[in-house]
Amino acid sequence: METRAPRRRVGRAEREQQILDAALSVFSERGYQNASMDVVAERVGVTKPVLYTHFGSKDGLLLACIARARAELLEVTTVAAASADGPEEMLRRGTKAFFDYLERQEPAWTLLYSESTVAGEALEGIRAQQTDFIAALLATQAPDADPQRLEGWAQVIVGACERLAIWRGSNRSVTSEQATEYLMDLAWTGLARMAP
């Protein structure tokens, strides 16, 4: 008689990460509208009610995928900027981290923009998060600058990064390094005057 190895019980946090990984994969492959909770549950090896217990609905699951991407994006850009020696290097490293993250997490990025009707508010939250982050970085370098000017600069940088990322999605030959250089060529020209 064959004995089976006992199944390991998975904690809630680990299970949620497994579900988010599977959901992101399914949403990316099939598109949000054509994805089913049944397929996500099957990929994770759980029942569909488990998904609903954790996330409430398919919309809730999509929003959780986006929330995770938002937190990860802030983490990688913060770490990159913190390792810089000066303002130009902070912007350069933070921008490069942004593009590298989007390249590594392309399914999340594609999902976010392709499902903007469901994710519009969440997408705007990511924009606001990154704008606040960049404005705070700029404020450390120019503490006497007008806060509205800093926010305006941050809005321009976030918008430019977003457009460059969309362009890179259709032009695979553009690397993270190139996109970062294009942004720095334009943005640093004006921002250099705030350097001490």
pLDDT given for residue 118 in this prediction? 66
DSSP one-letter string for 52-121:
HHHHSSHHHHHHHHHHHHHHHHHHHHHHHHHT-SSHHHHHHHHHHHHHHHHHHTHHHHHHHHHTHHHHHH
Separation CA 58–CA 131 (nearest Å): 29
pLDDT given for residue 74 in this prediction? 92
In terms of CATH, what superfamily is 67-194? Tetracycline Repressor, domain 2 (1.10.357.10)
Q: Would you kindly state where each structural domain of the chain is located, as residue ranges? A: 10-56, 67-194
pLDDT given for residue 50 in this prediction? 92
Per run of 10 residues, the mean pLDDT along the chain (length 196 residues) is 57 91 90 90 93 93 89 94 89 93 82 66 86 91 89 93 88 92 85 61
Domain 10-56: CATH architecture, name and number where available: Orthogonal Bundle (1.10)
